[in-house]
Amino acid sequence: MGAQQWALGPWALLLLVQLAGASHVVHRSLEAAAAPASVPASIVSPLLRTGYHFQPPMNWINDPNGPMYYKGWYHLFYQYNPKGAVWGNIVWAHSVSRDLINWIALEAAIKPDIPSDQYGCWSGSATILPDGTPAIVYTGIDRPDINYQVQNIAFPKDKSDPLLREWVKPGYNPIIVPEPGMNVTQFRDPTTAWFADGHWRMLIGGLRDTRGMAYVYRSRDFRHWVRAKHPLHSALTGMWECPDFFPVPKSGQNGLDTSEFGDKVKYVLKSSLDLTRYDYYTIGTYNNKTERYVPDDPNGDYHRLRYDYGNFYASKTFFDPAKRRRVLLGWANESDSVPDDKAKGWAGIHAIPRKIWLDPSGKQLLQWPIEEVEQLRGKPVSVGDKVVKSGEHFEVTGLGSYQADVEVSFEVSSLDKAEPFDPAFSNDAQKLCGIKGADEKGGVGPFGLWVLASANLEEKTAVFFRVFKDGYGKHVVLMCTDPTKSSLSPDLYKPTFAGFVDTDISSGKISLRSLIDRSVVESFGARGKTCILSRVYPSIAIGQNAHLYVFNNGEADIKVSHLTAWEMKKPLMNGA
């Protein structure tokens, strides 16, 4: 697949004409220059820049902000440094799309230009008001010597413009300021608001001592806000960044508007923990009379579920009314070094947008790449009914696997050889995977994929399952991404990532999907029960030198019931 292959619709070509001379100026990184001798040439290779994951042409990107659907267009704002490949000088960059896959960059929507955000325009959310007007509420920094955090609001200058190219900030900003006694440097990231009983509500993340807080603010007019006496919820976890709160139906895969309420609804409360840099969520009930949220699992605040058990943070969901779904967006930072990022001139990507819904068990969310990503698929390559014996592997050929979508269904011949499960790892799948990695022989597994692998396997990233049996005879399924041999380049952070998969494997069947994109591997186990995103930087397995294998390092034979792999075309990506 070459860079000349694009997945463009007529809308994209039309918009390019409309925006000729008006699309945003791409500022080349002030730090980007010839790579110093300490930075490997492979790191700055354009072949490691992702092909179909969201990113701007240059510079630093982090949190997705204020995603919404408006007048036929998806809008994504994001934290962006127009001057370099490290965090700083943050503005709300703005891109639009018809399909959440092909993106066109517009001018930055929100920049530091009023007293209450002159030292920073940090994260926030969008709410569509009853008359159809979008409102953005975001955190501003208003002092030069301290990250004193206040909340501001902005509206479209012309709400008849479907592209929402200009935003204005009313003179009554800020709309919310911290009260005496509150931690003024830990008071940020307002959520999408919801409406009930004549009041709007929204959450703001906070910290009291070591307790993460979801403060509730209420308003009748979306201008004057008052804090509720107690938080929606809190826990001894450290700061809650980027909170998110939304309803999900108890059955079915449809999404709900944030204001929907009723007996057939559960609620999801998510926070991004500053201490761990992971996103956690609980499922529970919400009482809009008492303004209380209660997790279904009494221990859920401390043994919480994660959207993604890999490199995934500061996520945000939104309700897509066009397809009646809730869509999840998240940020994946680099795991190379700061000098590497400066040399290549860019840092950060977003995960592929995911549709999310409640598992029929009610115990967790399910996630799956939005269907639109499938328009990027090229000609399929398939393998079926192939047995992989203990210690064996085979290559999947016939496609450029450095930019691919792979779906595979495995069947284990027998579970009798499952290793005993040590309950000490019940809440630490990552530690277990670090001990029992892809090359550690097992009973049932490890089996899965080697992706972005070199021909001689000196470089490879493993995505795999391993099955254990606990003291009660129940099988425990571990899913891992092991990048410890992903690159020969020095100074890379290469952690194993892992999560348990809550699935019934008594039939011996389990599925895996991996989206491979040059320097990112985004995987979904058991139809989206467990998800892991990992950043990798091969030095040999780059471009057409990247290979794809199925492997089995367990004693029990496995069968590839069906595998289909597609080379992925490059979408329109912000002019890059």
Which positions are catalytic? 63
Q: Which two tokens stand for residue 146?
A: 């301290």
Query: What DSSP designation does 339 have?
Result: H
d(C-alpha 220, C-alpha 203), whole Å: 15
Find the helix or strand (DSSP H, E) in which 23 lies. Answer: none
Q: Which two tokens stand for residue 431?
A: 């530690």
Please name which of 346, 284, 350 lies closest in space to residue 63, comparing C-alpha atoms: 350
Inter-residue contact 141 to 148 (CB < 8 Å): yes
Q: Which two tokens stand for residue 518?
A: 């040059």
Cα atoms in the 13 Å half-sphere on the side-chain side of 151: 30
Q: Which two tokens stand for residue 166?
A: 């200009």
What SS3 class is residue 564?
strand
d(C-alpha 575, C-alpha 102), whole Å: 10
Backbone φ, ψ for residue 101 (5° rounding): -120, -50
Whether the CA torsion 308, 312, 313, 319 is positive or negative: it is negative
Mode of pairing for the β-strands spanning 497-501 and 509-517: unpaired
d(C-alpha 278, C-alpha 255), whole Å: 24
Mode of pairing for the β-strands spanning 461-469 and 419-420: parallel
d(C-alpha 423, C-alpha 429), whole Å: 11
SS (H, E, C) 363-423: CCEEEEECHHHHHHEEEEEEEEEEEECCCCEEECCCCCCCEEEEEEEEEECCCCCCEECCH
Q: How many CB atoms lie within 10 A of CB 398?
A: 14
